Amino acid sequence: MSIVYSIHPGNRQFVRDVLISGLRVTDEDLVRERIRNLNAGDPLAQSSMIESQRRLYDLGIFARVDTAIQNPVGDEDHKYVLYRLEEARRWSFSGGFGAQLGRIGRGSPSFTTPAGAPGFNPRVSFGVSRSNFLGLGHTLGFQGRLANVQRRALVSYVAPQFKGNDRLNLTVTGLYDDSRDITTFNARRQEAAVQLAQRLTKANTVQYRISYRRVAVSELKINPALIPLFAQSIQLGNVSTTLIQDRRDDPTDPHRGVYNTLDATYAFNPFGVNTSFTRFLGRNATYYRLTRDLILARSTSLGAIDRISEADVPLPERFFAGGASSHRGFNENQAGPRDLLTGFPIGGKALLINNTELRFPLIGDNIGGVLFHDAGNVYSNFNNISFRVKQRDLEDFNYMVHAVGFGVRYRTPIGPVRLDLAYSINSPRFRGLKGSYEDLLDPNLPNVVYMEQRISQFQFHFSLGQLF
């Protein structure tokens, strides 16, 4: 049969004006900047009303945004558009407790355990934020963390939809961090940074960042001849950009998709010693659903640091890896080159790590299992990256370390809690020593006893969230 459409156009309707109500502290100009294509005389379009409603919600300062047309069934050609807003609470508080269980750096002056020792690291985090600061839609926040191996305070100022552009977000931060998670040294960091994030598409974001930081190191456990070089306070200016592509179905527990990041940094010292270098770090992760419940996940990280100045790359700026968040065949931050006298890690200028996981349900809906293989290392420089699996001698750390293992995941509303048990097939051997720091300073080393050590082949890691 034939279908006939009979179309009878109605009268065109236009915007008479936009009426806003419900504001207590928010600047009305801020709201009007987010209401687009609804000026007096513009055609009245439901799509423009909904899009403006979304933009107002994206500010994160309104609990409710209602929009309507005044007298919608009337015959008037020009009608008022109404926006009724309910502001959200301006103060918010957060807090949490956690713990890290494994072989970790504890800032101990002992020279007998350069590879770290089993430890329990409880941590407490807390935060407070003030949204809609000065009625501008900006957020002022403070985050703190207290732990055995870290004390951190972060102050941030976030301006979403910067300059009225919903694709731009501006963030200004100030950071104080006192870390002891690397056994070789303690680092005290003070940093200020400005970052502009631009959303290119739904999946692609680029970040532009300028920062200045000062890092002081202490309790160095390396060859005394190197201490005058590495013990200096570091002052660095950084210009960097990061490209992020996120096509995962679930950021906390992905089952399919792709996640890519590429970070490029140029660092220089605006004061004092001429130190400058470039740093690149890229990561590619893919997720495949093999069956309904079987997920194959893979992640590859590749990094390189290229020295530009005559001065070497400062110790805290080098790559350190290993542990629950990178290569599970190592203790925390224990991968890569080591001091040939004391055996403590000194970081590297290149990094290559590949992680592969086969994820499957174990017990019920909330407990899952993982079979994994981690391969890679931190290397002295990019030219020394090698797939070789055998360590040549106690001074060779430029080879690929492999580890296999089994993990358990317990699903929670904020992400999985995980326990990983790993066995390293070819963990590094190295030369360590016994003795006090005073013995080490003696040029004759009369009381220092050398001994061969090895990164434990069995590792265990307990943490929150998927590795990647």
298-to-25, 259, 359, 423 alpha-carbon distances in Å: 48, 10, 11, 19
Last residue in a domain, options 41, 59, 87: 87
Query: How far is the C-alpha of 16 from the C-alpha of 116, rounded, in Å?
Result: 71
Domain extent for 78:
14-87
Note whether residue 216 is domain-resident. yes
Are residue 290 and residue 225 in the same domain, yes or no?
A: yes
**CA 6-8-11 angle, 5° bins:** 165
Domain count, the chain: 2
Note whether residue 166 is domain-resident. yes
Note whether residue 5 is domain-resident. no
Are residue 53 and residue 97 in the same domain, yes or no?
A: no
Note whether residue 372 is domain-resident. yes
Query: How far is the C-alpha of 360 from the C-alpha of 409, rounded, in Å?
Result: 10
Query: How far is the C-alpha of 255 from the C-alpha of 297, rounded, in Å?
Result: 8
CATH number of the domain residue 35 falls in:
3.10.20.310
Note whether residue 180 is domain-resident. yes
Look at residue 447 in the predicted model and tell me its pLDDT: 62
Note whether residue 107 is domain-resident. yes
CATH number of the domain residue 278 falls in:
2.40.160.50
Are residue 119 and residue 237 in the same domain, yes or no?
A: yes
Are residue 186 and residue 319 in the same domain, yes or no?
A: yes
Are residue 264 and residue 203 in the same domain, yes or no?
A: yes
Are residue 39 and residue 112 in the same domain, yes or no?
A: no
Query: How far is the C-alpha of 452 from the C-alpha of 433, rounded, in Å?
Result: 8
Look at residue 438 in the predicted model and tell me its pLDDT: 59
Note whether residue 151 is domain-resident. yes
Query: How far is the C-alpha of 376 from the C-alpha of 327, rounded, in Å?
Result: 7
Last residue in a domain, options 87, 120, 152: 87
| Residues 6 or more apart in contact with residue 163 via CB below 8 angstroms | none
Look at residue 107 in the predicted model and tell me its pLDDT: 44
Are residue 205 and residue 69 in the same domain, yes or no?
A: no
Are residue 301 and residue 216 in the same domain, yes or no?
A: yes
Note whether residue 4 is domain-resident. no
Look at residue 334 in the predicted model and tell me its pLDDT: 92
Are residue 173 and residue 236 in the same domain, yes or no?
A: yes
Are residue 310 and residue 377 in the same domain, yes or no?
A: yes
Look at residue 360 in the predicted model and tell me its pLDDT: 94
Are residue 294 and residue 336 in the same domain, yes or no?
A: yes
Look at residue 269 in the predicted model and tell me its pLDDT: 84
Are residue 140 and residue 60 in the same domain, yes or no?
A: no
Last residue in a domain, options 63, 87, 111: 87
pLDDT (tens digit, 0 to 9) for every residue of the chain, 468 residues total? 999 999 988 788 899 999 999 999 999 998 998 898 888 888 888 889 999 999 899 888 999 999 999 888 777 888 999 999 999 998 999 888 776 665 555 444 456 677 766 667 778 899 999 999 888 889 999 999 998 888 999 999 999 988 888 899 999 999 999 988 788 888 899 999 999 999 999 999 999 999 999 998 888 888 767 777 777 788 899 999 999 999 999 888 889 999 999 999 999 987 766 789 999 999 999 999 999 889 999 999 999 999 998 888 888 999 999 988 899 999 889 999 998 888 889 999 999 999 999 999 999 888 999 999 999 999 999 999 999 999 999 999 999 999 999 999 998 877 788 899 999 999 999 988 776 655 565 656 556 677 888 998 999 888 877 888
